[in-house]
Amino acid sequence: MTRYHKISTKLTLLLFFITAMGAATALTGYEEADRPLAFVQKFKPSVGVENAGTLENIKKRGKPLFNGDTLRTDENGFALVQFMDKSLAKVKPESRLIVEGEVRGKQNTSARIGLEAGEIFLNVTKQGRDNFEVATNTTVASVKGTDFGATSDNFFWVQEGIVELLVSGTGESAELTGGNYGQVLSNGTIETGTLTEDEIEERNEEYSQMEENLEPEIIEIRFVDENGQQRVLKVKVFENENK
């Protein structure tokens, strides 16, 4: 390999690592008043972010989401979104959600997901002073740290923890614990019940398959170092490009 190719390879690897570290260092470079609420850490095409009427297709991981941004997935798209408090949202295909909130400090944040279409599953970290809510067109789910799912047609189910439901129009409320579900009916009442183990397993399986599809591919990059020795570098690459 020529000296030129050695240098070119080193530069390529350096650029790769700078890009890969982008998500981890994304907090730097933002003004305090304009901090992102979350980042799209993994995704499969096609996923877009809409702001002020402009829709942008995501092309690389680490895309920041700011207050008022709308995340959209098409019929084949899904995404993994990480919030500032380390909470995670797994977004299924054909979903649309608005991210709202404020970051006042490392230990003082608030986040609200407006679920307009589709379905999500959340792993919400234990909340102290922080606030985390999921809202549909009729109902607000308040969370203090739990794993639960929500659909835009007002069905909520809890795998672990506690979720409090409040229907905006009627003021009716319900508390859901692990293994329970709540369905808000058209008259504003909340129907609650218990999911069977098979039903919980079936719902978990859907999201497990999503995560499997989001697993990175391990590729090998072969290069020659400054001593003329051949080296093999293994890196994780997520198939995130729109196709």
How do residues 5-28 score in pLDDT, each as one tens digit?
A: 433 333 333 333 333 334 333 344
Q: Where are the domains of the chain?
A: 3-135+196-237
* pLDDT number for residue 2: 44
Say if CB 96 and CB 118 are below 8 A apart.
yes
pLDDT digits (tens, 9 = 90+) for 51-99: 988 999 998 888 999 999 999 999 988 899 988 888 899 999 999 999 9
Q: What is the pLDDT of residues 29-58, one digit of tens each?
A: 444 446 789 999 888 878 999 998 899 999
235 pLDDT band, cuts 50/70/90, is low
Q: Please give the residue that has the higher pLDDT: either 103 or 129.
A: 103
Q: What is the pLDDT of residue 139?
A: 96
Q: Mean of the per-residue pLDDT values for the chain? A: 78
Instruction: Show Cβ contacts of residue 141 under 8 Å, excluding neighbours closer than 6 positions.
Output: 133, 134, 135, 148, 150, 156, 163, 164, 165
By CB atoms closer than 10 A (0-12, 13-18, 19+), residue 3 is exposed
Tell me the C-alpha distance between 99 and 52, whole Å: 13
Place of tokens 């008259």: 187
Cα gap 71→79, rounded to integer Å: 9
Q: Can you name the residues that pair with 111 across neighbouring β-strands? A: 101, 132
Closest CA to 112 of 138, 130, 94: 130
> What is the pTM assigned to this prediction?
0.72
pLDDT at 14 (0 to 100): 34
Strands of 162-167's sheet in order across: 54-57, 47-51, 70-73, 96-105, 108-117, 131-135, 139-143, 162-167, 173-177
